A and B are shown apart, each in its own frame.
Chain A
Amino acid sequence: MTQRIVQSFLLTVVVALSSIALSALSTQAALANNAAYTFETEAQERQFRQLINEIRCPKCQNQTIAESDAPLALDLRERVYQMTVDGYSRAEILDFMRTRYGDFVHYKPPLRASTVILWAGPGLALLIGVVTVIGITRRQRRAEGLSAEEQARLNTLLDDEPSAADSSHSDEAESAKTNTKERGE
């Protein structure tokens, strides 16, 4: 019984001591952070700010190391700061992070066969869209002559029901019409 009491007492002491030590440690880290984020040049500061907003905290749910307060994020922030101040370039720091944490760590994936679809997919869609539109307008221009008969039928219908056509069109269309008239098309 006594042994258990002694044991639990010791455990409590250990826990208390370690928590004190921990708080001291984290304070030191935080102190260093806030005191240390001073830069010699504006370019350095910009690089630092940009990087900490682009590097992902590996431990957290989808957060950058700028956003997260996790200890690991603090460490990485500190490392980015140190490297920036030591004159490392943006690419070098990103390389450093990538060799350790993989591509995962940067919010912009590298261009490779497996990621090329990020740019190629939308690019291809854009290309298809543009080509289709040009194709449609070309085809229509060629077909213009053939559709005279349809045009005539359309005109008859339009003449048939001027009131219906008018009310079914918005004021915008009306004004467009006046515009057309006035600008003498």
Chain B
Amino acid sequence: MIAEIGHFALVIACAFSILLTVIPLIGVARRHGGQMAMARPLTHGMFIFTLISFIALCWGFLVSDFSILNVAQNSNTQLPAVYRLTAVWGSHEGSFLLWMLVQASWAAALAIFSKRLPLVFAARVLAVMGMIGVGFYFFMLMTSNPFDRTIPLIPVDGHDLNPLLQDPGMIIHPPLLYMGYVGFSVAFAFAIAALLGGRLDASWARWSRPWTIAAWIFLTLGIALGSWWAYYELGWGGWWFWDPVENASFMPWLAGTALMHSLAVSEKRGSFKSWTVLLAIAAFSLSLLGTFLVRSGVLVSVHAFATDPERGTFLLAFLGVVIGGSLLLYAIRASKVVSHSRYELFSREVMLLGNNILLVVATMVVLIGTLLPLVHQELGLGTISIGEPFFDEVFMWITVPFALMLGLAPMVRWRRQKWPELQKTVLLAFALAVGLGWALPAIFAGHVSGLAVLGLILALWVLFGTVAELHMRVAHQENKFNGLVKLGRSHWGMVLGHVGFAVMIIGVTMVQNYEVERDVRMSPGDTFSEQGYTFHFEEMREVQGPNYVSDKAVIRISRNGRDIETVFTEKRFYHVRRQVMTQTGLQVGLFRDLYVALGDELGDGSYAFRIHYKPFVRWIWAGALIMSIGGLLSITDRRYRMRRRQSRVMSMQSKQRQVDGGQA
């Protein structure tokens, strides 16, 4: 019964999304205020019924209603309650329902917080959100209904959730990631609405900027969490594998980061308008593409998800309509935009353009690298693999100019910067970075590696550049502290964003160059020493979990005879799926992680272990966290909380052609 309610609610939500697509746009065409105003209640309706449907599915999982096919395939009576809930989005169908819930939530938030937007614009934006919804609701109802029944052959118990996903990190990783993916649909909707209206002025940039940053925060956190999860759950010690599924989330992130910076220019200077719109379309298109790649099975990935040509075809057709349609609209409308802003080669604008170019290049590297194996094979040229060695090398080359510009850009003025003004500061910061970048590894590390030095120099350069910029801002003020406070949250958001990036670079550099990895065999009672740490293999325990049995190795770690911590690493055998999962033992520290993963039993009472010494690995995720906090500061900035303002200055400056007469 509950399942039928869920199914029915989904149909109603779908109906709402259709109405949301149609009515406001008719209203806009006929300049009928009442019809345009329908957009908001329709959006709320879509959200509420999606929520009901989602709750119904959650209920099905919680009470283990195996008459629902999706529950039977992805849950089990022995599965702990928390994981029953995560199983809701552990499956193909459920994850799409989550996607829709997130989409509807963004739309509802938009409906609530868009009161200050012109009604025509708000109606268009919400209609675009509805349009995206229509595609997904149809996709679910036609190919992936989460409420399909197993009746009359109701199984006694379910197939259980993939053990890989039975982890606390997996509870919030998918929702965060989806909040990010789908969040870009808001920027997308703004861009399409602006294109439809033919007005690409600074105001749409200002309106969509906080939404874009919000989506970016979620995506950043989602990716970081996924990386952290892979680090401790897969047992290989890696934190990024350049797997197609990871790439699928990385591409929208790169495009979204470019969009965020480009929006800043469009908002403040009225430049790059058509470019920014393209980025907004690209960010969401790449989110959709990512979903397609993950869900259609066209690529080989460690994450084996549902593969089904029918679903793939539907998704691809949907992609064609959404992406193809918006790019066509873009070609027609944006090509008529005339931009007349002025800036010189050495200016903040060009710095940000440089940032955009490099981020787009990086996106292309990931896109081509992810898709080329497929194309190569389809053309009959044979199978190739593209992975870490390729991406690592290319990304290093991209990061160098990127970081060099990043350290400098905030100091550079809009329009025109004279080099002599900055010369002293820049040279000092750079000299410091180079000096310390050499000195630190030479003092603290056993060997100096060229790449480590390069990475450190770049990171320190970004840090010193950021500090120098702050100093410049308050240099002539009497009360420096007040001056810093007065800079505003948006400015501090930028500072944190850049500092986070530097912190991440440090983490990546250190772990790539100074990591130590050992394959060890130990019997209980044995010890192994590495990097001054001693690992004592105390004993092996057999542990009975709710839906698994596990061999748990107890490892006591000591240094200089003093115990630091006892960690546990397990090999869990999950009954239902008959899969073995590794749980790693971690001794976490600010400057290094000690990582112990249990391997196979070797027969004579000894076990294989993989022991890693991972310097600065935490900094990678800390960097992502700092960046996100920066984003959070930015969207709470004063100017986004204030009432709608005139944007006549900007529109004048940009001499925007008014394509749509009704808008004037």
Contact = CB atoms under 8 A, between A and B. Distances in A.
* Chains A and B in contact, CB within 8 Å: yes
Contacts of A134: 345
Contacts of A121: 364-365, 368
A108 B343 contact: no
Contacts of A56: 385, 387
A31 B602 contact: yes
B387 A167 contact: no
Interface string A127-169: 0011001100100110110010010011001100100110111
Interface residues of B, number: 79
A102 interface: yes
B256 interface: no
Contact of A102 (B347, B360, B382, B642): B382
A129 B590 CA distance: 40
Interface in B181-211: 206
Given A37-B519, A161-B646, A61 B300 contact: yes
A137 B388 CA distance: 37
A122 B364 contact: yes
A61 B340 contact: no
Interface in B354-406: 354, 356-358, 360-362, 364-365, 368-369, 372, 376, 379, 381-390, 393-394
Contacts of A102: 382-383
B361 A126 contact: yes
Interface stretch (B38-46, B214-222, B486-494, B548-556): B486-494
Contacts of B476: 179, 182-183
A30 B602 contact: yes
Contacts of B487: 171-172, 175
Interface in B530-578: none
B342 A164 contact: no
Interface stretch (A1-9, A10-18, A62-70): A62-70
A115 B365 contact: no
Interface range on chain A: under 10, 10 to 19, 20 to 34, or 35 or more? 35 or more
B236 A67 contact: yes
A137 B472 contact: no
A62 B384 CA distance: 12
Interface string B294-321: 0000001110100000000000000000
Nearest to B356: A129
B637 A125 contact: no
| Most chain A CB atoms below 10 A, which of B387, B494, B637, B646 | B387
Nearest to B651: A157
Given A54-B389, A126-B361, A170-B488, A161 B648 contact: yes
Contacts of A103: 382-385
A130 B383 CA distance: 34
19 contacts: A24-B603, A26-B600, A30-B608, A33-B608, A61-B302, A62-B301, A64-B387, A64-B388, A67-B238, A103-B385, A108-B386, A108-B393, A109-B385, A118-B386, A161-B646, A164-B649, A169-B268, A172-B494, A179-B472
Interface of A: 23-24, 26-27, 30-31, 33-35, 37, 49, 53-54, 56, 61-64, 66-67, 69, 102-109, 114-115, 117-119, 121-122, 125-126, 129-130, 133-134, 137, 140-141, 143-144, 147, 150, 153-154, 157-158, 161, 164-165, 167-173, 175-176, 179-180, 182-183
Interface of B: 206, 234, 236, 238, 243-244, 268, 300-302, 304, 340-345, 347, 350, 353-354, 356-358, 360-362, 364-365, 368-369, 372, 376, 379, 381-390, 393-394, 413-414, 421, 472-473, 476, 486-488, 490-491, 494, 517, 519-521, 599-600, 602-603, 608, 637-639, 642, 645-649, 652-653, 655
